Amino acid sequence: MDALRRIGKALGGAEWVQGPGGNVSIKEAATLFVKASGKRLSDMGNAGAHAEVPLALAKAALDGDLEAEKAVFSLSPRPSLETYFHAIGGAVVAHTHAIGALLVACSSAARPEAIVSVPYERPGRGLALLVQKALDGRREALVLLESHGLVVYAETVDDAITRSREIDEQFRASFGALPSFAAEVAKPFVTETALGSGVFTRLPNRRVETPRFLFPDAVVFASVSRVTSFDDDPAGAAKAALASFGRPVVLVADDGSRLQCARNPDELAQAREVALSHDYVEDVLARSRRGDARYLPDDEPPKIVGMPSEQYRLALTRSDPSC
């Protein structure tokens, strides 16, 4: 579908989404075309990158119909968990983890008047119900999901792209001159093998006394494990961490050196984007006087990781290098 491909390319860069995050949709007649779970937004033009959901079925799932919910998430490819909030609003919905939006959503910074703010809720039907209440029947709106990202409801692809870019530029401007996150992600990195059982790379040094997370994707793709040191055997440390966690993890040594570990090169590249975006947002907020960082509650990470939808996304990054 050309329209999905166009919006995916326009909003699929690292400044807008990191790893498999974000999702977009288009309502056409009785069908909701929405990004498939675990797929990159920039790959929307590829086979299997979007799901076709009967719109009435998606709305019934949002209304609490358990059979409809089961039917929606039994489709292949499986639609994004956030299909719930794509079932409402205008013809085009663009959900991104834009860097500017994250800076505001993960802090106490002032919200622009044009923004509708929705309090943090774990991704899923509960979050969509909060969004539905906030929209109050409107088809077009700019919605900030606290500690999560941005959702733009519009009637056309061009409007969704333009409004996403405009509001994110406004978010960024409130923090003054910012370094380029895209340039940070684009820096070359070396992938090493974790003794035949995964891969790892080095991240910029960073002391982490108590692991805390600003947004859900950081919990899933950049979990932190403290170690005394790994310099004597980084490959062995990475292998042990992957065996323990079964998913991407960042090892942090006492001296602040860090290893990002993952199960294959594609998962590593995606997890690295998420880890670097978390670093970036945390650093900007630490330097800024425009708002203190707001971290997820301490009991939230295990709840996020335990979600079936997150287990599904992790299974995709383990087995499907194209995702």
pLDDT grade for 323, boundaries at 50, 70 and 90: very low
Mean pLDDT of 167-173: 95
Query: Which positions ≥6 away from 260 have C-beta within 8 Å?
Result: 200, 201, 202, 203, 222, 248, 249, 250, 268, 271, 272, 275
Q: Which of the pair, 313 or 276, is modelled with greater confidence?
A: 276
pLDDT grade for 321, boundaries at 50, 70 and 90: very low
Would you say residue 186 has pLDDT above 60? yes
Average of per-residue pLDDT values in the chain: 93
> Considering only 144-148, 258-262, 271-275, 305-309, which range has the smallest mean pLDDT?
305-309
Backbone angles phi, psi at 70, to 5 degrees: -60, -40
Classify residue 259 by burial, with Cβ atoms within 10 Å: 0-12, 13-18, 19+.
buried
**Contact yes or no for 18/217 (Cβ under 8 A):** yes
Q: What is the 3-state secondary structure (H, E, C) of 283-307?
A: HHHHHCCCCCECCCCCCHHHHHHCC
pLDDT grade for 263, boundaries at 50, 70 and 90: very high
DSSP structural state of residue 109: P
Q: Which of 120, 118, 131, 114 is nearest to 167 (CA)?
A: 114
Would you say residue 229 has pLDDT above 90? yes
Domain boundaries of the chain, sorted by first residue: 2-173, 181-319
Would you say residue 234 has pLDDT above 70? yes
% of the chain exceeding 70 in pLDDT: 97
Would you say residue 305 has pLDDT above 90? no
> Considering only 43-47, 59-63, 258-262, 313-317, which range has the smallest mean pLDDT?
313-317
pLDDT digits (tens, 9 = 90+) for 140-166: 999 999 999 999 999 999 999 999 999
**Contact yes or no for 59/51 (Cβ under 8 A):** no
Rounded Cα distance between 282 and 86, Å, is: 29
Q: Which of 97, 128, 112 is nearest to 11 (CA)?
A: 97
- Token representation of residue 8: 């995916």
- Token representation of residue 202: 């080095």
Separation in Å, CA 120 to CA 8, 37, 80, 107, 145: 25, 21, 18, 12, 6
Residue 113, Cβ neighbours under 10 Å: how many? 5
Would you say residue 284 has pLDDT above 70? yes
Q: Which amino acid is at 252?
A: V
Rounded Cα distance between 278 and 97, Å, is: 11
Would you say residue 322 has pLDDT above 60? no
Mean pLDDT of 170-186: 93
Please, which residues bridge with residue 260 across strands? 201, 250
Rounded Cα distance between 173 and 153, Å, is: 22
* pLDDT of 291: 74
Query: Which positions ≥6 away from 253 have C-beta within 8 Å?
Result: 227, 228, 229, 230, 231
- Token representation of residue 227: 């170690």
Classify 51 as helix, strand or coil. Answer: strand
Would you say residue 318 has pLDDT above 70? no
Would you say residue 225 has pLDDT above 70? yes
* pLDDT of 320: 46
Would you say residue 87 has pLDDT above 70? yes
**2-173 maps to which CATH number?**
3.40.225.10
**Contact yes or no for 94/27 (Cβ under 8 A):** no
pLDDT grade for 90, boundaries at 50, 70 and 90: very high
DSSP structural state of residue 42: G
**Consecutive H or E run containing 34:** strand 31-35
